[in-house]
Amino acid sequence: MSKLKKHRPTSSEVHSLLQQYQGQVTWTPRYDPISELVFTILTQHTSDSNALKAFNNLVRQFPSWQDILDADDEEVAKTIFIGGLSKIKAPRIKSVLKVIKSDTGSFNIDFLRHMTLTEAKNWLKSLPGVGPKTAAVVLAFALNMPAMPVDTHIYRVSKRLGLIGKKIDVDKAHDILENSVDPNKVFSFHVYLIQHGRTVCKARKPLCNECVLNDKCQSAFKL
């Protein structure tokens, strides 16, 4: 007798089950928007812990964003060296700050909260070196807007569950997942998926026996 094909879960079902397992999530701002933007650039292609050390070094060495703009690229790169790719990230951070200062006359991007989500994302993505994930992180973590950052954990978990197609690239995954749940649940959905990917649905040895989603997962016990 052939096995019954598993029902592919909806994002709302996944959110509900992970909420029961992980508990409620409360949004609190991590940084102000411009700090969140700089910090997120530093997280690119490195661990959060090293990015945090680099960010702390940066704000300790340069008391203002203008001080970073006025500094040599090499001096900034040396300060953020622990975050990796410092010779790329230093000029990128300076370029972003330069554009923001030129376009707004300040280093304040709080005005993004008054835009539509699409407008705010497009404005951020127009900055040098800022892609969908960085834009989404700034909007979600600093401005409490319903943007869905997709990292490697979320991308992996979503594919295994069947929330996104196997051929969907990570950039398209942002919008698909973002639109799959109620806007008020987007932030918690992000938190639940990333935590699940880090602790249960791991890349190499997923803990399917411990997973609250294994009876719905398209990939359970197959990896």
Total Cβ atoms within 10 A of residue 28: 6
Domain membership flag for residue 2:
no
73 and 88 belong to one structural domain: yes
pLDDT digits (tens, 9 = 90+) for 21-69: 999 999 999 999 999 999 999 999 999 999 999 999 999 999 999 999 9
Which of residues 124 and 220 earns the better pLDDT score?
Answer: 124
46 and 133 belong to one structural domain: yes
Specify the number of domains making up the chain.
2
pLDDT of res. 222: 80
| Cα–Cα distance measured from residue 101 to residue 93, given in angstroms and rounded to the nearest whole number | 12
Asked if pLDDT for residue 134 goes beyond 60, the answer is yes
One-letter amino acid for residue 41 of the chain: I
Domain membership flag for residue 181:
yes
Domain membership flag for residue 221:
no
The residue with tokens 């703009």 is 69
Domain membership flag for residue 215:
no
Asked if pLDDT for residue 2 goes beyond 60, the answer is no
- Mean pLDDT, residues 140-161: 97
15 and 66 belong to one structural domain: no
**What contacts 135, CB < 8 A, 6 or more positions away?**
120, 121, 124, 125, 147
Closest CA to 26 of 222, 184, 223, 200: 184
pTM score: 0.93
| Burial tier of 171 (Cβ tally within 10 Å: 0-12, 13-18, 19+) | exposed
| Cα–Cα distance measured from residue 218 to residue 101, given in angstroms and rounded to the nearest whole number | 48
pLDDT of res. 223: 65
pLDDT of res. 6: 67
CA dist list (Å): 38 to 13, 33, 35, 76, 89? 34, 9, 5, 13, 10
Closest CA to 15 of 173, 183, 138: 183
- Mean pLDDT, residues 173-196: 97
Q: What CATH number is attached to the domain comprising 172? A: 1.10.1670.10
**What contacts 214, CB < 8 A, 6 or more positions away?**
208, 220, 221
- Show the domain range for 176: 11-26+149-210
